[in-house]
Amino acid sequence: MPKRFNPLVAIVAYDGLCTFEFGCAFEVFGLSRPEMGPGWYRCVTAAVDPGPIRGAGGLVLEPDGGLELLRAADTIVIPGWRGPNADAPKGLLEALCAAAADGKRIVSICGGAFVLAQSGLLSGKRATTHWHHVEKLASAYPDIMVEPRALYVDEGNILTSAGSAAGLDLCIHVVRKDFGAKAANSVARRLVVAAHRDGGQAQFIERSLPPPAGTRLSVLLDTIRDRLAEQWPIKRMADEAHVSVRSIQRHIREATGMGPGEWLQNERLARTRDLLEETTLSIDAIARHAGFGTATNFRNQFRAVVGLSPATYRSRFQNS
C-alpha cells in the first residue's frame, strides 16, 4: 500500500510538447492503478502556453489548467523541452523557482534539464540530460556539475534524467522514494521494464562491438552475473572469452561504456540492492553473495556509490 496519501503530480505541457517524454510521466503517475490502493498519485497537466497545446506527431492536448496548478503539486515534471536553445517563458521559470522554494520536488526528463538550468535551480548541483546535449549543457552552464553518463541524477528535490526512456527510470525511482521498492517493482512489471537499470547512458551511444567477440562476450557477462560471488580478475575474464587481456578490456568498454572493473563493481552493487530489498539475508551474507568478501568492504563500497549504508537503504526500500 502507498505510504503517502494521494500526492499530486503536475506534468508541464507546452506547445511543441515532446510526446514520448510526456507519455513516460503520464504512464507512471497518471494512469489509474487500483492495485496500488486508494493512496496512489493524482495527476494533472499544467499548460505553459495559452491556446491549443500541440505535441509531436500532430497530437493536440487539452491540459487541466495553467501554471497555477503547480502551486498545489507535490511533484512537478518537465517532460523534455522544445530544444536546448529554446528559451523558457519567464512565467514558467518563476513558477518553478517558487515551487522549489516551497520544497516541492521538480523532475526533468531529457531536455527539460535546460529549463531547470535557465531557472538557476541546477546551479551548484549535479545534473544530466541526453548524451547528445551534455556538452552543451556543461558549456552553457559551467556552474552545473553535469554527469554525462548517468541515467538520472537525484539531488533531493531536484532530479534530472538522460534522454527519453531514461525518464521512465527516473519516474520509477520517484515511485520507489514515495512508496517503496514493492510499489516500484509493481509499476515496472506493468510497464515491462526493469525496476532499476544499472550502468550509464554511455552504453546507449552508438558503438560497434566487433562481431567475432560479440557472442563470447555476451556469454562471459552472463556467466559473471550468475557467479558474482567468485573472483573475476581481468586475466580470468580474458581466458573465459578466449581473447587477450587487452581485447577483453576494449570489448567490455565498447559494449558497456565502462572498464571491466567498473562494470563488475556495478553488477555487484546491483545484486546487493536486490538482496537488500527482496530478502532478509544478513549484511555478511549479502557481501559474500555479491562478491564483496567482507561486510566492511561491502559497506564502504555501497556507501561510496549509493550514499547510504546498506542498513539504511534496506530500511527505506525493503519490500513489506
Give the DSSP per-residue string, 253-315. Answer: HHHHSS-HHHHHHHHHHHHHHHHHHH----HHHHHHHHT--SHHHHHHHHHHHHSS-HHHHHH
Q: What is the C-alpha separation between 181 and 53, in angstroms, rounded?
A: 35
CATH 3.90.1150.10 fits 210-320, yes or no: no
Do residues 260 and 220 touch, judged by C-beta distance below 8 A? no
pLDDT, tens only, 12-21:
999 999 999 9
pLDDT, tens only, 195-250:
666 555 543 433 333 333 456 788 899 899 999 999 999 999 999 988 999 999 99
Q: What is the pTM of this model?
A: 0.67
Return the CATH number of the domain spanning residue range 8-191: 3.40.50.880
Spacing of C-alpha 148 from chain mean position: 13
Q: What is the C-alpha separation between 20 and 215, in angstroms, rounded?
A: 33
Structure confidence at residue 201 (pLDDT): 54
Is residue 91 classed as helix, strand or coil in its secondary structure? helix
Do the bridges between strand 158-161 and strand 152-154 make them parallel or antiparallel, or are there none, so unpaired?
Answer: antiparallel
Domain borders along the chain are 8-191, 210-320
Q: Which range is most confident: 36-45, 71-80, 255-264?
A: 71-80
pLDDT, tens only, 171-210:
999 998 898 878 888 888 788 776 666 555 543 433 333 3
